[in-house]
Amino acid sequence: MKTIDGSEEKNSKSENCTTITSFGITVNWSWPSDFRAVAARLFICPRINSVRALRYVDMMRRGRMSVEGFLETTQRHIDDLNWRISKGVSISDDMEDNLEDWTLELGEPTEEDYQYLEKEYGFTRQMLYGEVASSDSAAISSAKEMASIVKEYVKGQDDVVDSLAVPFFQHLESKRMGTTAKIKCPVVLMGPTGSGKSEILRRFGDLCDCPVVRVNTIDIVPNGWRGNHLSDVLALYLDDKCSLKDWEYAIIVFNEFDKITHYNMKQTAEDMDGDFMREIMRLFETGYSIIIDKGDGGLMSNKFELPTQNLFVVFDGAFLKMEEVVKKRMNVATSIGFNHSKNAESASINYMKYVNEDDLISWGYMPELVGRIGQVQALSPLTSDMIYQIMTTAKDSILHDHLEYCRNYNLDVKFEESALRYISDLAYKSGLGFRNVKTILSKCMNTIYYEYCCSSATREKSKPKTIKIDKDFVVRQLKVMNR
């Protein structure tokens, strides 16, 4: 809860003024009208984050903006939300992002605040945020069922999803029962850029219904070194959105973990590498806790002790040139000559699938750390066909998002297969995997959005229109946008 000047509220009442608190915002003056109406509009408008909300309130306090003018201006946002809901369009993604920011900076709205939204605007929690993730996790009864759900969103990596479902389900079960899964071990996830590492971990994390903390490994240093430590990163994530039990079962993802050993690089930091790996190993010791200092003013004030025995640790990274390590161990020839046919066959093999403990040690990891890793999973590089499959069949794909956006404006956009195949080929050749599809689609759709997408006040009057997109259209649009 913050007062309008951004300082933490110390007392609910002061000597010379009355405090009013709504949706986490506290004003310390006699507000000229119903402050809850203003706070509700600030909270419900997806384009207004917590920082802008405080700025608007301050402007109204200083008389630089009238309350009536603010209510009139924000009415169109309320009308837009009502229109989207009436058309069956989900608003949960926008509202969840807004809630995350709001809760982190101002605090989560109270039950009374939510009741006000439903009474005054008809917005229920389900309308705003969709189905609660915990209801999905509560219904999962096996690792196989968990894998089948993730496969609805992740395509072309079935073997990796099946293998990872086991430790993630063990983690979910241990949280349900409030116990420690002693057989659960950390995992390593390898794969090139855009192959789906982040998406897989995000989907499993959602199903486990617990916090997922992504730690950029190369930005932190071990204790005893100057810089940001793991406890500093965790302190940024810890808040009141999750219970203490949830945090004790958090999933910690060490992103870009392949880079801490500086394999095949010109820089050296062997002492720091070793200290960091030893610190990581302490996460797997019984009875060890991370001491996190939230500082003053946080909901978890001062020092907080986070036990590590129930955390689930995942290491991920691209591990470029790891194939060379595997080939060397397997004595696979790389020269071209009389063995050309064998080398052609070797080029079609994903040697990352054969990474073992010796390869990880050769990469530079300490044997003591490698011995604690439960499994190593390598994603397959995405082919053009796999990218096409993700675009057309995966739930929540970026293509579906574009088509849904167009339907909001009475546009029925139809991509011909030639266009989708061309986009898939471009993304594959870029070397960025599926990540580049978003950029390509954005460039293709820019002209359509410019020509046909109108304001909420006029789109109801627009006539339905069908637009077909073929390969030639994509080629032309990319040429225009790349000038």
> Distance of CA 275 to CAs 28, 169, 261, 281, 330, Å?
50, 31, 11, 10, 31
pLDDT of residue 373: 92
For 134-378, CATH number out of 3.40.50.720, 3.20.20.70, 3.40.50.300, 1.20.1080.10 equals 3.40.50.300
pLDDT of residue 367: 92
Domain boundaries, the chain: 2-127, 134-378, 384-481
Are 292 and 235 in contact, with CB atoms under 8 Å apart? Answer: yes
pLDDT < 70 regions, the chain: 1-18, 28-33, 46, 86-90, 93-94, 97, 130-138, 239-243, 262-271, 294-302, 333-347, 454-462, 483
Strands 187-190 and 375-378: parallel
* Partners of residue 189 on adjacent β-strands: 316, 377
Per-residue tokens: 63:
């008389």
Contacting residues for 420 by C-beta, under 8 A, at least 6 apart = 388, 391, 392, 399
Q: What sign does the dihedral 439-392-132-126 (CA atoms) show?
A: positive
Per-residue tokens: 52:
């802008």
Asked, colleague to colleague, whether 134-378 and 384-481 share their fold, the answer is no
Distance CA 417, CA 389 (A): 11
> Tens of pLDDT along 71-121?
888 887 787 777 777 666 667 766 776 777 787 777 778 878 887 887 788
What are the φ and ψ backbone dihedral angles of 25, each rounded to 5 degrees?
-105, 130
> Tens of pLDDT along 192-215?
888 889 899 999 988 988 888 888
Which string of DSSP letters, residue by residue, matches 20-89? EEETTEEE-S--SS-HHHHHHHHHH-TT--HHHHHHHHHHHHTTSS-HHHHHHHHHHHHHHHHHHHHTT-
Distance CA 335, CA 16 (A): 84
pLDDT of residue 460: 61
Per-residue tokens: 74:
């924000």
pLDDT of residue 378: 94
What are the φ and ψ backbone dihedral angles of 180, each rounded to 5 degrees?
-100, 125
Least Cα distance to 35 among 118, 129, 116, 123 occurs for 116
Least Cα distance to 197 among 400, 364, 372, 380 occurs for 380
Are 400 and 452 in contact, with CB atoms under 8 Å apart? Answer: no
Architecture per CATH, domain 384-481, reads as Orthogonal Bundle (1.10)
HEC string for 251-289: EEEEECHHHHHCCCCCCCCHHHHHHHHHHHHHCCCCCCE
Specify the 3-state DSSP secondary structure of 212: strand
How many residues in the chain? 483
Per-residue tokens: 231:
């406890």
pLDDT of residue 266: 40
Q: What sign does the dihedral 28-32-36-42 (CA atoms) show?
A: negative
